[in-house]
Amino acid sequence: MKVLIIKQNILIGLFLAAFLVFFFGYCSYSQNLNWKFQTRGRIYATPAISGDVVLAGSGDSTFYAIDKPTGELKWSFRTNGSVHSSPVIYENHVFFGRADGTLYALHIHTGELLWKFDSQGEKMLDFWDYYL
């Protein structure tokens, strides 16, 4: 289990067991597990929180917006490849990148695609850099 974010006494974390990936919401006051949300792929980067929304991309080619109090899916956005970057939030927009160098901007409340940009840069061949 890995705790990723602590905000307002709610821990948003990640639990990896075999190939199952769960986000979880845990209240540090009551010590109760409030919710869990399973993705179909690995989470490679730290999620972000904007208000009551947890935002994160997954190795299943999907970017998720999860309701922080309940753990319910608010919306999802399907890409054509694995999402490996942490999201960046600016006003009502969320920005993230795919492993192939494509950048996306979505509306934070609806998941509507605002724009995408193919950087034409080097493609990521592997997640590990092989340096010590």
Domains of the chain: 2-118 (2.40.128.630)
Which region holds residue 85: left if phi is over 0, alpha if psi is between -120 and 50, else beta?
beta
Binning pLDDT at 50, 70 and 90, where does residue 20 land? very low
**For residue 28, is pLDDT > 80?**
no
**For residue 101, is pLDDT > 80?**
yes
**For residue 18, is pLDDT > 80?**
no
Stronger pLDDT, 83 or 35, i.e. the higher one: 83
pTM to 2 decimal places = 0.80
Per the CB < 8 A criterion, the answer to whether 14 and 23 are in contact is yes
